[in-house]
A and B are shown apart, each in its own frame.
Chain A
Amino acid sequence: MSLIARLRGMLRRERLDQELDEELRSHVEMRTVDNLAAGMSPEDAYFDAQKRFGNTTLLKEDTRAVDIIDWLDECARDFRYALRMLQRSPGFTAVAVLTLALGIGANTAIFSVVDAILLRPLPYPEPERLVRIWESSRKHDSPRNVVNPLNFLDWRDHSQSFESMAAISGSMTNLSSHGQPHAVQGMQVSPDFFSILRVPPLLGRTFTAEDGIAGHDQVVILSYELWQRQYGADPKIIGAKIDVDAVPYTVIGIMPRGFSFPKIKSEVWTPLPLARTEDWKHGRYLTVVARLKPGVSLGQAQQDMLRVANFTAQARPSYNKNWSANVFPMLEDATRGVRRPLWVLLASVGFLLLIACANVANLLLMRGTGRLRELAVRSALGAARSRIVRQLFVESLLLSLAGMAAGLLFAHLGLRSLLALIPQNAPLPRSESIAIDARVLLFTFLASLFTAVVFGLVPALRLSRVDLQNALKQGSLRGGVGGHQSLRRCFVVAEVALALLLSVGAGLMLRSFSRLISVDPGFSPAHLLTMHIWTSPARYHDDLKRSQYVEHILGEIRNTPGIQAAGSTHFLPLTEKISGSCFSPADQPAPSPAESPSAQFLIISSGYFQAMGTSIRIGRDFDDRDSFSSQPVAIVNHAFVQRFYSGQNVLAKQLRVCWTIEKPVEIVGVVADARQAQLQDAPEPTIFLSNSQAPMYFATLVVRATGDPRQIARSAEAAVHRVDPDQAVSDIQAMETVFSDSVSSPRFQAVLLLVFAGLAVALAMIGVYGIVSYSISQRTNEIGIRVALGARSADVLRLVLREALTLAAIALLLGLAGSLALSRVLQSLLFEVTPTDPITLASVCFVVLAVSAFAAVLPARRAMRIDPMAALRYE
């Protein structure tokens, strides 16, 4: 009877009960009538009819038992029996459970990461309707470029696919409380921001349209965490005034605990007043988020935005020619860059689980062969094949549930060390919510069931198919197992092939990582301390005052003991920050901004190159001569000369730059190339301007210490406060930490893949060891005869190794074919290594072959010691 019929029977139980009652009553009544007709007294007639049934309740139970009770009983029996069988062979059970626990644990840990980062919806209502919109430029090969304010206003007013659209500009913000300055991450947002995300405040209100009008915008919303930390969770803060960048702002709301926006950290939100003024010429710097109207698809929204972008391109061709717009789902946008690595990791642990399954299946087959006699007896005593399959399967289920329990423990421990690999300063997006929760537990449970089916069902079906009667009669059980041996060989080949596949992946990642960290960044990170400052616009609004401010600070720092050199840059290298702009040679007529060549721009102080250890090849550094009122000057890097002035002398050349400087700048020096956005990005043509002539509101100070840079952190900060006691200093860290954090993601992948590949190879080795030792035990007397006939131990060794190495060779071919087929997947994750890198492939093949040979030699040594007399008597 099928399980489904039984379950249906359970559900129908109520109705069945009634039906059965009625049927039995009608039976009794008919019997009573006949009894009466036969001349019994009415009482006797009924009593006799009843009596024939015996106990009616019991009868009903019996009838139903066919449905449920019997079945449950049988299951319980199977479980008890399985438990006994597993207890009887503790060694087998321990190995199987441990193997499964490794596979299941690794999968649970990685899935919890994948789930938290990639699968779980964003924490806002109807998150699938949230999108990010970027400008895109074919010319700069940049599909996600930040947005110009005037273009944003045009988009918002002319597009039809969106409920609303908001612009975001993130920056540091100086707050002061209790007279202590401190810098926090802030966000300026257009008023619709919170209504797009549909998150209501915990206290107070969010922004209204009026807050977005310049002059009415001195209101601020705080994060729950900041409110707790700095303002003692006082609800009376609503309506109070706090200093934001030295200007009093009114606190109007507190956001709920944990509220955040993907990838842009923020603890204070202030309105972003946008108007159609000349400000738009400041360039592209906004991040745009929008909510699609209900029923509007992504494709329709994209079409709509292309139309609107076409409009902006026609309205301001000099600025927007060749620029368009792209719409991406917000979740995809937030997890860009980690999707592929995470899927690769999940696939790797999936392979690992398959290897574990193959291993346990082999163990089961091997043990099952030893149990053929027991199975034959049970079958002879009348157990149907389905019963035997079920019995064997229940054992597998128990194993995999035990593996799940141990695996959850592994996952818990593993996840902790895995999260320790993710640096605090460079977290994966959405990684704060990684945990083993109900969703992950459900996944683990399903994975364990799947595991039980994969490793349990094949051996169960295979073993129960053996002609058990025959096996019993023959006394020797060798006859029936030849097929198993070939099945087991297949499992071992699959194991080794998958292990090879994983090792190739790990090897490539490792090679790519070692290439990456041996890249010369163009500066020397040792002894370097970095710290960030953000100058409050209210106090340093005056360009001249601001232009001297950073020089004052640097002068004060340079006079501090233990410090060799100091300088500043507006974007620190290796933090994935770049700014670009257009320029043109001043001796030619000016093209429109859209048609000008462009370069990266960095605003630095004098002494920056000296502090970083980057050499000046030609010309000079910025110095005291370059003040706010003197001739504007620039330094360019080697890549800039190569691209635009190859073979020419660039000194004294004049450039028009689309930056805040109106007058042409004169090139006074050329520096060596250094990596800016990240280590793997080749140096781009870069124009350096002096912070004294093009002052910024923020800077990262780089300070070269004579000794350990962490030792001078206090004195450097004190030097800043000597210039301005209200200046907050943030992100104080050694450049070596910045360097190490910048490669944390490839390191994370390489380390994990290496661990998984190591486990995979170990499991495959156990598989090879198992099959070789089993095959030796099967061939004991054959080997005995050979030895008796004069075979030497080298011949025996060759005999045994030949089998193992043939399997390994087949596995190598399959594994190599697999890794070639999957090479495209890894391509984009590798740095300066091709996925078919011959050195990696060759060394991995060598390692896997060597390990297989080693696994085979261990049991082979036993074969060499076989005593021919004993072996022949053995049969």
Chain B
Amino acid sequence: MLKPKNDLLQGTLALLVLKTLAREPMHGYGITLHIQMVSKDFLRVEEGSLYPALHRMEQEGWVSAEWRSTENNRRARYYRLTSTGRKQLAEEEKNWECLTEAVAQVLQFV
């Protein structure tokens, strides 16, 4: 469905966005900045993937959106995590842990 256009593993984008929104409601641009900043410029979210992903998450009911003003008095669409989204986040975090653990075990296997 969503073709990966960046270095992120498919599916990870949603996890990162959900996690970011778990802190506070945020607009699309803010999300890219936050992920870039926290990952110390290692992860860069492509706009071309972000908006389709946000839109899809909104349709799924994981996030809700509303128009608000930024600190600089600019109108922007803010996304907020819903309770379904929170559950989804928990699940994706768990999946991620399982995956990394499994990968780690494979790597440690001598």
Which residues on A are within 8 Å of B, measured CB to CB? 1, 5, 9, 19-20, 22-24, 26-27, 29-31, 33, 52-54, 58-59, 62-67, 70
Contact = CB atoms under 8 A, between A and B. Distances in A.
Contacts of A63: 51-52, 55
A26 B51 contact: no
B27 interface: yes
Contacts of B1: 66, 70
A66 B59 contact: yes
Interface in B12-60: 27-29, 46-48, 51-52, 55-56, 59-60
B35 to A, nearest CB: 14
B74 A30 contact: yes
Interface string B68-110: 0010101111000000000000000000000000000000000
A26 B76 contact: yes
Contact of A27 (B47, B60, B72): B47
Given A29-B74, A30-B29, A54-B48, 16 more contacts: A1-B59, A22-B75, A23-B28, A23-B51, A24-B51, A26-B29, A26-B74, A52-B46, A53-B47, A54-B47, A58-B48, A59-B47, A59-B52, A62-B48, A62-B51, A64-B55
Interface residues of B, number: 19
A5 B77 CA distance: 21
Contacts of B70: 30
A20 B70 CA distance: 17
Contacts of B29: 26-27, 30-31
B41 to A, nearest CB: 14
A53 B48 contact: yes
A70 B55 CA distance: 14
Contacts of A67: 59
Contacts of A52: 46-47
B60 A1 contact: yes
A5 B52 contact: no
Contact of B59 (A5, A27, A29, A30): A5
Nearest to A54: B48
Given A1-B60, A9-B59, A70-B1, A23 B77 contact: yes
B2 to A, nearest CB: 8
B47 A23 contact: no
B25 to A, nearest CB: 14
Contacts of B72: 33
B69 to A, nearest CB: 10
A59 B75 CA distance: 21
Contacts of A26: 27, 29, 74-77
Contacts, number: 59
17 contacts: A5-B59, A19-B77, A20-B51, A20-B55, A22-B77, A23-B28, A26-B74, A29-B74, A52-B46, A52-B47, A59-B48, A62-B51, A63-B51, A63-B55, A65-B52, A66-B1, A67-B59
Nearest to A52: B47
Contacts of A62: 48, 51-52
A53 B45 CA distance: 11
Contacts of A54: 47-48
A27 B48 contact: no
A19 B28 CA distance: 13
Contacts of B28: 23, 27
A19 B65 CA distance: 11
Contacts of B55: 20, 63-64, 66
**Lowest 3 CB-CB distances: which A-B pairs, in order?**
A30-B29, A23-B77, A27-B29
A26 B65 CA distance: 15
A27 B33 CA distance: 11
A8 to B, nearest CB: 10
Contacts of A19: 77
A29 B74 CA distance: 9
A391 B47 CA distance: 34
Contacts of B60: 1
A58 B3 CA distance: 13
Contacts of A23: 28, 51, 76-77
A23 B58 CA distance: 14
A589 B48 CA distance: 109
Nearest to B33: A34
A800 to B, nearest CB: 50
A58 B5 CA distance: 13
Nearest to B60: A1
Contacts of A1: 59-60
B100 to A, nearest CB: 22
Nearest to B30: A30
Contacts of A70: 1
Contacts of B76: 23, 26-27, 30
Given A26-B27, A27-B29, A30-B29, A66 B56 contact: yes
Nearest to A5: B59
Contacts of A24: 51
Contacts of A66: 1, 52, 55-56, 59
Contacts of A5: 59
A672 to B, nearest CB: 85
Contacts of A9: 59
Contacts of A27: 27-29, 47, 76
A63 B77 CA distance: 15
Contacts of A29: 74
Nearest to B70: A30
A24 B52 CA distance: 12
A52 B51 CA distance: 12
Contacts of A20: 51, 55
A609 to B, nearest CB: 88
A285 to B, nearest CB: 73
Nearest to B57: A66
A66 B57 CA distance: 10
A243 B96 CA distance: 100
Contacts of B47: 27, 52-54, 59
A847 to B, nearest CB: 57
Nearest to A74: B1
Contacts of B27: 26-27, 30
A430 to B, nearest CB: 52
A580 B51 CA distance: 88
Contacts of B75: 22, 26
Contacts of A64: 55
A292 to B, nearest CB: 54
Residue among B28, B55, B76, B77 with the most chain A CB within 10 A?
A: B55
Nearest to B51: A63
Residue among A1, A23, A24, A52 with the most chain B CB within 10 A?
A: A23
Nearest to A62: B52
B102 to A, nearest CB: 19
Nearest to A1: B59
Nearest to A60: B51
A677 B37 CA distance: 99
A53 B29 CA distance: 12
A23 B1 CA distance: 22
Contacts of B56: 66
A710 to B, nearest CB: 78
A33 B47 CA distance: 17
A851 to B, nearest CB: 53
A24 B70 CA distance: 15
A452 B40 CA distance: 57
B97 to A, nearest CB: 22
A22 B59 CA distance: 19
Nearest to A24: B51
Residue among A27, A67, A70 with the most chain B CB within 10 A?
A: A27
Nearest to A9: B59
B103 to A, nearest CB: 20
Nearest to A27: B29
Nearest to A2: B59
Nearest to A55: B48
Contacts of B59: 1, 5, 9, 66-67
A19 B46 CA distance: 20
A22 B51 CA distance: 13
A856 B60 CA distance: 52
A370 B77 CA distance: 52
